[in-house]
Structure 1
Amino acid sequence: MKRNGIFVKVFIYTVVFSTLLVGATAALFSSQIMAYYSGQQLRKISSTYEQLINRSQENADIAVIASQFHERNQTFRFYITDKAGHIAYVTPGANANNREVDLKTEGNSFIVYLGNGYILHVFNDDAFSVKYHALIPRVLVMLIAMLAVCVIGAFVFARQMTKPIQALADNTAKMANLEEVLPLPERQDELGDLARDVHSMYDRLKETISELEDEIMREKELEETQRYFFSAASHELKTPVAATSVLLEGMLANIGEYNNHPKYLRECIKMMDAQSKLISDILEIVSLDDRRIVPVPERLDIKRILADILPHFRTLSEAHNLPIVIGIPDAQTILADSKMLKKALSNVLLNAVQNTPEGGEIRIWSESAESAANDYRLCVLNTGARIDDRILPKLFDPFFRVDKARSRKSERSGLGLAIVRKTLEAMNVDFGLENNSDGVLFWVALPKIS
């Protein structure tokens, strides 16, 4: 009943209004029909009593004229009165007793004014009466038919008016539960405009909810990343501080080998230098996150940038017996921040040198990016290496290490690729790390200058 509430209301209102309209129409036409038939009766009486009416203009006795007329028309029943209401003549079969009283009240009569002030009263005999008893059933059938048409019309009207409203109400109920809703059939009226506005609002609402969910997810990921970052940073800082504290306490107490103060002081200084570098890297990541380091793009030559940073890695690569193969054409100019790009590439090359297995090599080349014709893609490949696809996305997380034991021994902080990601994100360039058939490939898309 609730779902059809508006249909029932519209249907009832329409039926009531239609019934009132039909009743008013029937009342109006019935009075018009009665007046029409009364006029017809008067005209019929006038034509029937025409001879009597015409002769009443004569000065002869009205009773004699009426008697002569009745002799020729003995089936007619009538009587004649003067202005005072006294009966001048009455047909013998009308009412023989107490005429003054009964004739004026007997049935319905029609009045015709005669000459010389006389009035003709004609009884409503079958000859002049209208067969209302035969007319009434026809009128009732007609009224019932009109009411039936009104009810059917009201049903169709209510259904057509409320069906789209009910469909829209069902859709809005689904929208409230964030369910999928099919669009309603197109209508070129106010209901169609309302349906389009509601669906448009629902689409925008879903987009907003999706954006909020994504934002909440990003906030959760950020909180988790920050929690992991602080936990890892605390661990990375706590261990060497504890080790330094042990060395210093041993030297103060002159315990065993700790008597060799110069040796262990150098160890303390070495650990403090490592901690200083770690803290600097952490502060750099924080600055990049806070957008306090703003890139200043300038015109750069890719080959020249690599020539400036490669000498710092030659010794390390030769110690690992890792050849570095360069394949960059001349005159490839880009628009980028020189200091930030060198910082990112230095960390990438250091990571490549440290993770390329024996017998491999490091290849560096540039090419036009397939996804963007206005970019150069600078690629660094360390051959023979392979990283689990599940671990690849985590390599850019701060303090993440594939092999924690090896990493600590080689004095890696685990912040190199994290700094690379933050730096390239601040420069607003695309980059990626992926496995291919030859090894592990890092690439960065740099905007070219024609």
Structure 2
Amino acid sequence: MKRSGIFIKVFIYTIIFSALLVGATAALFSQQLMFYFSRLRMEGISDTFQRMADQSQGEDDITELARRFYERDPSFQFYIRDKAGHIIYETPGAGISGIAIGQQPPGGKNSTILVNLNKDYNFHALRDDVFAVNYDKWIARALVMLSAMLAVCVIGAFVFARQMTKPIQTLANNTSKMSNLEEVPPLPERKDELGTLARDIHSMYDKLKDTISKLEDEILRERELEETQRYFFSAASHELKTPIAATSVLLEGMLENVGDYKDHPKYLRECVKMMDAQSKMISEILEIVNLNNGKIVPVPERLDIRHIVADMLPNYRTLSEANGQRMVMNILEGQICFTDPQMLKKVLSNIILNAVQNTPEGGEIRIWSEPVADRYRLCVLNTRARIGDTVLPKLFDPFYRVDQARSRKNGRSGLGLTIVQKTLEAMDIGFALENTPDGVLFWIELPKAL
């Protein structure tokens, strides 16, 4: 559809309707006006001639009056008869001479008696001449008026069509932009059906954009999840492949009784040790999968943060003292949070263990909590430690280790921080791992209990 198509249609239809209305009005009143003006003329002629006849005394006076009346209005044809039927006066164009009473004048004109003069004479006017009014001026005025009316109708039709079609054209242009997902400003507020239609369309467009945005986010998230899963399974297969191959070598050596492998109890213990490590890694992998799939659902409870941390620290003090580290806790009594206790313990266990393993000898592991708005921020800082800015974002990737050799030797799977991340996301708890002037800080924000 062309841009001006609907405007042209509305404008033409309105003009046609207006023209028909003006024409019907002119046709309806023109005949009535003709009769009205003819009647006025007849009454005017009768009154004028009657006043003149009342002043006459005889035939000569009447004839003289008729002559003078004709001189004033030569277009009007009439004649005068006496009671005997003799014509005492007729206008030059009447053509009545020699016509008997009751006969029609030539040309098919009918005559009518307008006035009885002194009861002895009758004034006859030719009917067609009575109606032969000079309508030229009247017609000219009527045409001017009709033209003015038609011009007003045309202007009104243009304004009406423009006002009717402009919002429709704007709405059509907006919908065209909407189909291309372009930004579209809302139409001016209207209280009619067009306003309702525009509001509904813009509402649907806003909902459509929101839906598309959510779908795009969902597609992006799915792609990231697929990429993460691809990386996760690739890394998992690589992590499992090495110890399984090593175990296979040990078992084959023992079966063949080659060299040192004849000491079966020693190498069987090594195999059991590697299998335990792989069993632990598989359990962690399954835990991450369950967290991703939403199969692990938090069950929040009211918990005292100080008591939770104090109960866990003895499990790590021995290891930290062996590494020449010092653990310091500064958490006030009465800080009550609302969260899942088992999931929180799992998170804190991995964070504290990670701090112990990465704090250099002579460093401190500081644990404290401070209120932040409607939450408590629980912080774990391992001093004299620092992580490279390029490495920091990768620490939550599955199986990522800063020092591959040392990490494997210490039995670290590289899944600890991944489990922490997935668990905190499942609990809807904010967290961050960042460098500070004093060391590496890991903090989580626990919701306050009401």
Contact 2:377–2:443, Cα closer than 8 Å, also in 1: yes
The equivalent residue for 1:381 is: 381
State how far apart, in whole Å, the 1-side matches of 2:198 and 2:18 are.
30
The equivalent residue for 1:428 is: 428
- Please report how far the alpha carbon of residue 6 of structure 1 lies from its aligned counterpart in structure 2 after TM superposition: 0.9
Please tell me the residue identity of whatever aligns with 2:31. Answer: S
Please tell me the residue identity of whatever aligns with 2:95. Answer: N
The equivalent residue for 1:91 is: 89
The equivalent residue for 2:62 is: 69
State how far apart, in whole Å, the 2-side matches of 1:112 and 1:300 are.
122
- Please report how far the alpha carbon of residue 31 of structure 1 lies from its aligned counterpart in structure 2 after TM superposition: 1.9
- Please report how far the alpha carbon of residue 243 of structure 1 lies from its aligned counterpart in structure 2 after TM superposition: 0.8
- Please report how far the alpha carbon of residue 53 of structure 1 lies from its aligned counterpart in structure 2 after TM superposition: 8.9
Name the SS of the counterpart of 1:73 in structure 2: helix
The equivalent residue for 2:416 is: 416
Between stretches 114-123 and 217-226, larger displacement belongs to 114-123
Unaligned 5+ runs, structure 2: 71-76
State how far apart, in whole Å, the 2-side matches of 1:302 and 1:190 are.
61
Encode CA deviations 1:192-248: one digit per residue, 9 max, x unaligned: 222222212211111111111111111111111222221111111111111100111
Query: Given the superposition, is the C-alpha separation of residues 142 and 355 from structure 1 closer, same or farther in structure 2, using an over 3 Å criterion?
Result: same
The equivalent residue for 2:251 is: 248
The equivalent residue for 1:58 is: none
2:175 is aligned with 1:182: no
Please tell me the residue identity of whatever aligns with 1:385. Answer: A
Q: Could you say what the CA RMSD is over the residues aligned between the two structures, in angstroms?
A: 3.2
Between stretches 91-100 and 285-294, larger displacement belongs to 91-100
State how far apart, in whole Å, the 2-side matches of 1:23 and 1:402 are.
96
Selected match of 2:328 from 318, 325, 345: 325
The equivalent residue for 1:36 is: 36
Q: How many residues align?
A: 437
Contact 2:290–2:296, Cα closer than 8 Å, also in 1: yes
% same residue? 64
State how far apart, in whole Å, the 2-side matches of 1:272 and 1:440 are.
33
The equivalent residue for 2:73 is: none
Please tell me the residue identity of whatever aligns with 1:105. Answer: G
- Please give the residue correspondences for 1:233-312 in structure 2 after superposition, counting only pairs within 5 Å: 233-312=236-315
State how far apart, in whole Å, the 2-side matches of 1:380 and 1:110 are.
126
Selected match of 2:105 from 103, 106, 116: 103
Between stretches 386-395 and 428-437, larger displacement belongs to 386-395
Contact 1:386–1:439, Cα closer than 8 Å, also in 2: yes
State how far apart, in whole Å, the 2-side matches of 1:393 and 1:119 are.
126
Contact 2:377–2:446, Cα closer than 8 Å, also in 1: yes
Please tell me the residue identity of whatever aligns with 1:321. Answer: G
The equivalent residue for 1:59 is: none
- Please report how far the alpha carbon of residue 40 of structure 1 lies from its aligned counterpart in structure 2 after TM superposition: 0.9
Encode CA deviations 1:297-326: one digit per residue, 9 max, x unaligned: 333332222222222222221232221121
Query: Given the superposition, is the C-alpha separation of residues 72 and 325 from structure 1 closer, same or farther in structure 2, using an over 3 Å criterion?
Result: closer
Encode CA deviations 1:362-383: one digit per residue, 9 max, x unaligned: 11111112xx33x221100112
Query: Given the superposition, is the C-alpha separation of residues 118 and 172 from structure 1 closer, same or farther in structure 2, using an over 3 Å criterion?
Result: farther
Query: Given the superposition, is the C-alpha separation of residues 31 and 232 from structure 1 closer, same or farther in structure 2, using an over 3 Å criterion?
Result: same
Encode CA deviations 1:407-431: one digit per residue, 9 max, x unaligned: 2232211111111122223333222
Contact 1:45–1:128, Cα closer than 8 Å, also in 2: no
Contact 2:109–2:128, Cα closer than 8 Å, also in 1: no
Query: Given the superposition, is the C-alpha separation of residues 207 and 90 from structure 1 closer, same or farther in structure 2, using an over 3 Å criterion?
Result: farther
2:216 is aligned with 1:213: yes
Contact 1:53–1:114, Cα closer than 8 Å, also in 2: no
Encode CA deviations 1:10-51: one digit per residue, 9 max, x unaligned: 111111111111111222232232122111111023224437
Selected match of 1:347 from 347, 350, 358: 350
Name the SS of the counterpart of 1:442 in structure 2: strand
2:337 is aligned with 1:334: yes
State how far apart, in whole Å, the 2-side matches of 1:201 and 1:288 are.
36
Contact 1:298–1:338, Cα closer than 8 Å, also in 2: yes
Please tell me the residue identity of whatever aligns with 1:5. Answer: G
- Please report how far the alpha carbon of residue 389 of structure 1 lies from its aligned counterpart in structure 2 after TM superposition: 3.8
Name the SS of the counterpart of 2:376 in structure 1: strand
Give TM-score, length-normalised by structure 2.
Answer: 0.87
Selected match of 2:163 from 160, 163, 168: 160
- Please report how far the alpha carbon of residue 128 of structure 1 lies from its aligned counterpart in structure 2 after TM superposition: 8.7
Please tell me the residue identity of whatever aligns with 1:178. Answer: L
Please tell me the residue identity of whatever aligns with 2:251. Answer: L
Query: Given the superposition, is the C-alpha separation of residues 351 and 171 from structure 1 closer, same or farther in structure 2, using an over 3 Å criterion?
Result: same
2:154 is aligned with 1:151: yes
Unaligned 5+ runs, structure 1: 56-63
Query: Given the superposition, is the C-alpha separation of residues 110 and 390 from structure 1 closer, same or farther in structure 2, using an over 3 Å criterion?
Result: farther
The equivalent residue for 1:173 is: 176
Contact 1:432–1:443, Cα closer than 8 Å, also in 2: yes
Between stretches 6-15 and 359-368, larger displacement belongs to 359-368
The equivalent residue for 2:74 is: none
